[in-house]
Amino acid sequence: MFNLIEIKKKNVCIMGLMGSGKSIIGKDLSKYSNLKFYDTDKEIELKTKKSINEIFEEYGEAYFRKIEEKICLELLTKNNCIISLGGGSIVNKKIRKAININSYSIYLQVKLNNLENRLKSSKKRPLLNKNFAKKETLENLYNQRRKFYEKADFIVNNDNDKIQVLEKIMLKLNSYAKENIHKK
């Protein structure tokens, strides 16, 4: 089991597009590592007492991004947590800076076809509820965001087997912890 207390970084952040499996992987990692799990969208819903869809519908995306910034920056000051970040949060410079300061970041990379399939019946993603094709929207978002996602400390493909992905992440975090234990 990796020990974040022994390394310099304080949290593990999971990043990636909608449907890349951030919450599932984050929850499992939290079980295996005994670290607390946070999902930024869940926290936004708890704080506002509204669903992400309702926030977008009633107040618009710009308002959502403001709350997202606040919640992410708050969560990123915590210690020793696994944090699954909403797919668009990485576009925000302050959030990127906060991740770099105190987190080990992991990007879950998934092929657009697979994302499209996974999100086919999802009604919880306001950016995909519009009339145009989901794949095109996802492709545009990917093109805008990949330069940020690809700066993650670790990039892992999450197209197939979840168990293998978890093993890869755990191995990586363990070796990262070992490499950094003496650098404190």
Among 73, 127, 155, 170, binds ligand S3P (CB under 6 A): 127
Distance CA 182, CA 184 (A): 6
Instruction: Verify binding: residue 87, ligand S3P, rule CB under 6 A.
Output: yes
Lay out the site mask for ligand S3P across 2-41 (x = CB under 6 A, - = otherwise). ----------------x---x------------------x
Return the CA Rg of the chain. 16
Instruction: Verify binding: residue 52, ligand S3P, rule CB under 6 A.
Output: yes
Amino acid of residue 98? A
Cβ count near 47 (within 10 Å): 12
Instruction: Verify binding: residue 67, ligand S3P, rule CB under 6 A.
Output: no
Instruction: Verify binding: residue 43, ligand S3P, rule CB under 6 A.
Output: no
Closest approach, Cβ 41 to ligand S3P, in A, equals 5
Instruction: Verify binding: residue 126, ligand S3P, rule CB under 6 A.
Output: yes
Reported residue count of the chain is 184
* DSSP string over 50-66: S-HHHHHHHH-HHHHHH
